[in-house]
Amino acid sequence: MLNSFPEGFRALVIGSTGAIGAAFMDLLQADSRCASVHGLHRHSQPALDFHAEASIAAAAGALAQTAPFHLIINATGLLHSERFMPEKRLADLNYAQMLETFQINTFGPALLLRHFTPLLDKERSVMAMLSAKVGSIGDNRLGGWYSYRASKAALNMFIKTAAIETHRSKPGAVVVALHPGTVSSRLSEPFRGAEIGREPHIAATELLRVIDGLHAKDSGEFFSYSGERLPW
């Protein structure tokens, strides 16, 4: 239960058909204090597809009448696909993989910041963007995973910068990057995710606990599912 949000708060989950996105939907729907939770994905109404730039603005416009939202979570992300796996070496770098990875992990979420931060409640709201610890430049000790690391590092900069701007008009809004850890999902499956990952509902519960404890002063920061503040 999210006690820091007002009774009857409104929530929005982007990427609501993924493993962790669906878990967020379940938990928020079960929260008696949440009046409504809307899920967005490529086939929702309205639809939202990072491959179709206009759909992002259109979705925000369609939901404006139900604003303000007290909680917006972006649970999308791309690490690999049927066409590629994370690059281990510089010799693996190519435009196609970099462009696809950045479109889903950086460009799409950046436009979410553009079009959805205006829908946040001024008094108390959180826009949480799922990032990844491997996007931390200060924490990078192993190398590899070039596009994924870089796309998440770039996302973190968008989040930090958007938080500064958003604070000027919505001082009660919090815009943060969250690291969900390893979750059992399609994203982590090729990397022993089924063995070492946490169940999506456990990960989502931990992240909602972190979100519930955030204050305006935490806007623009990077947190782990444990509540630890992570280095950029």
Task: Give the domain extent around 140.
Answer: 9-224
- Band of residue 82 on the pLDDT scale cut at 50, 70, 90: confident
Q: What pLDDT is attached to residue 192?
A: 57
Q: Is residue 28 part of a domain?
A: yes
- % pLDDT > 90, the chain: 89
Which residues are CB-contacts of 74 (< 8 A; sequence separation ≥ 6)?
Answer: 14, 15, 109, 112, 127, 128, 129, 130
Per-residue pLDDT tens for 87-146? Answer: 999 999 999 999 999 999 999 999 999 999 999 999 999 999 999 999 999 999 899 999
Give phi and psi for 103, each to the nearest 5: -60, -40
Q: Is residue 4 part of a domain?
A: no
Q: Is residue 107 part of a domain?
A: yes
Q: What pLDDT is attached to residue 185?
A: 64
Q: Is residue 90 part of a domain?
A: yes
Q: Is residue 231 part of a domain?
A: no
Q: Is residue 2 part of a domain?
A: no
Containing H/E element for 180? Answer: none
State the CATH number of the domain containing residue 215: 3.40.50.720
Total domain count for the chain?
1
Pairing of the two strands 9-14 and 34-40: parallel
Q: Is residue 232 part of a domain?
A: no
SS3 37: strand
Report the pLDDT averaged over residues 68-83: 93
The number of residues in the chain equals 232
Q: What pLDDT is attached to residue 193?
A: 46
Residue 22 CA from chain centroid, whole number: 13
